[in-house]
Amino acid sequence: MNNMTDIIEQYIKQLFLEAKDDYITLKRSNVAEKFDCVPSQLNYVIKTRFTPEHGFIIESKRGGGGFIRITKITLQSDDYIDYLIETIEQVEAKEIDYIKILKILKNEKYIDYFDYEVMNNSLSILQKNTFDTLQLLDDIDILTTKKIKLTMDKNSKEMLLQFLTNIKYSKEKK
């Protein structure tokens, strides 16, 4: 049996399949009542499963006439890659969920399984080597440890940005 977040996610995805536009509008209270859950459960689903990285933009208005509008970003255009690049450039490296972004790129057919594995393994090796280095340095102070981790995060971010740029330009050549 699926948990409530999975059920609500599937319900919202089904609404998109039935919608004639690229957006749907929900009332928190109606969805909460339909699934006999609290409105915060819906908020959790939206914040974790309908993010820009997943290809959605959220618009929300609270109060009596409040609503949640979820708009699906058209993933077939280069605009999505541009959007990802711009978004990633603006956030701190430690806040980026690299694996989630790679999975979306694979699922939306921007990259194939091979490209996914190469990039995923590259990022994993970078992390592993960084943590192995930290373990070798027994007498390292906390500030130096933070600097090394920050460097790893920055390198991971730069790798992802370069990867996205390569995807963008390879799509333009086709």
User: Which structure tokens are listed for 149?
Assistant: 């981790």
151 shares a domain with 90: yes
* Arithmetic mean of pLDDT, 50-59: 83
84 shares a domain with 65: no
163 shares a domain with 108: yes
Domain of 113, in residue numbers: 78-173
* Arithmetic mean of pLDDT, 27-48: 89
Q: How far, in Å, are 82, 110, 114, 164, 167 from residue 173 at the CA level?
A: 16, 14, 20, 15, 10
pLDDT tens sequence across 107-157:
888 899 999 999 999 999 999 999 888 888 877 888 888 899 999 999 999
DSSP notation for the chain? ---HHHHHHHHHHHHHHH-SSSEEEE-HHHHHHHHTS-HHHHHHHHHHHSSGGGTEEEEEE-STT-EEEEEE--TTSHHHHHHHHHHHHHS-GGG--HHHHHHHHHHTTSS-HHHHHHHHHHHHHHHHHHHHHHHH-TT--HHHHHHHHHHHHHHHHHHHHHHHHHHHHHHHH-
90 shares a domain with 44: no
89 shares a domain with 151: yes
User: Which structure tokens are listed for 104?
Assistant: 């979306």
17 shares a domain with 68: yes
104 shares a domain with 83: yes
26 shares a domain with 101: no
Domains identified in the chain, total number: 2
pLDDT tens sequence across 55-111:
788 888 877 667 899 998 765 557 778 888 988 998 888 888 888 889 888 988 889
Helix axes 142-173, 98-107, angle to 10 degrees: 20
95 shares a domain with 122: yes
164 shares a domain with 88: yes
Pairing of strands 23-26, 56-61: unpaired
Pairing of strands 67-72, 56-61: antiparallel
